Amino acid sequence: MKVKGLKRDYNFLMICDLHVISEDISEAEEKSVHIIKDRMTNVFKTSGQTTSALDLFRKLGPVVNKCGADAVLLGGDICDFGSIANLNILKDELSKWTIPYMYTRADHDFRPWWMAEEHEAEIAALGKAIDGDEDLMVMEYEDLAVVGYNKSTWNVTPDALQRFKEVYAKGKPIVIVSHVPFNSPVDPSFGEEIMNHENGRNLTWGKGCYYDANPVTEEFLQMVYAEHSPVKLVLCGHMHYSRDTMLSDTCRQHMFAPAYKGNIGIVRLIAE
């Protein structure tokens, strides 16, 4: 993608919807063990049903460390549920990465689905130990800002909006990483397609959508959609298939196919 205002080209890898599950599922409630085993052995494997999400994740480090990209963007649902075992795997594997990365979470990355106990404090502490787990993440270059909307299954926090305004005011081209897609004011077919795909649920952020924006999130979205917005690209996942759409005349959104099927997105920004 060509981007005006860049002084050089940038290359990023985008990885989302991997759904890693630890082999240690001792934290699960007894009635849900069979659900987790099914997700581990049948649901979240590559198309040929040969490689688990956990195996894929363990193989990623040596690959990304040699890829030569500017950074890796982890776009949410990297693990399947918030267990201590899952978070420890993420922490241990990411500690081996020498390439810069940004990890924007979604609900599966920290919510204790199917667990006997929540362990909320321990999960939060592990998240902070990985990368600080801030509400809004910023990877800033001389002529570009990559902004991570963390925990994007929840509304934007006031602190995150304020931080976004500070980055926005600098006027650099901005790339946003969000697990949940944004509804498109200029392409109604995008929301309609998702509703057809999801039994009538428009699983995007926007007024009247499944992720119904509160005033803070709505202000954030309007800054993205604005006529002279520096936001040029939104990278997302969530739907488990690939789709490109425009959010405005100058802002594109790309939704990536899931990593558990062996997909890694390549994002190339070309200076114009």
* Nearest alpha carbon to residue 82 among 182, 151, 132, 30: 151
- The string of DSSP codes covering 78-89 is SBSS--HHHHHH
Residue 51's pLDDT is 84
Residue 46's pLDDT is 61
- Token couple for 47: 């198309």
Query: Could you tell me the strand order of the sheet in which 71-74 lies?
Result: 2-3, 265-271, 10-15, 71-74, 101-103
CA dihedral 99, 55, 74, 239 (to 10 degrees): 160
Residue 47's pLDDT is 59
- Token couple for 84: 């201590």
Place of tokens 């204790």: 112
Residue 48's pLDDT is 62
* Nearest alpha carbon to residue 103 among 46, 51, 178: 178
- Indicate the residue type of 215: P
- Dist CA 78 CA 57 (whole Å): 9
Place of tokens 């594997």: 93
Distances (CA, A) of 74 to 121, 176, 190, 212, 229: 23, 12, 23, 24, 24
- Dist CA 159 CA 216 (whole Å): 10
Q: Is 267 helix (H, G, I), strand (E, B) or coil?
A: strand
Residue 234's pLDDT is 98
Contact 2, 268 (CB under 8 A): no
- Dist CA 39 CA 21 (whole Å): 8
**pLDDT string in tens for the chain (272-residue length):** 999 999 999 999 999 999 999 999 999 999 999 999 999 988 887 656 678 899 999 999 999 999 999 999 999 999 999 999 999 999 999 999 999 999 999 999 999 999 999 898 999 999 999 999 999 999 999 999 999 999 999 999 999 999 999 999 999 999 999 999 999 999 999 999 999 999 999 999 998 899 999 999 999 999 999 999 999 999 999 999 999 999 999 999 999 999 999 999 999 999 99
Q: What angle separates helix 120-131 from helix 84-94, to the nearest 10 degrees?
A: 10
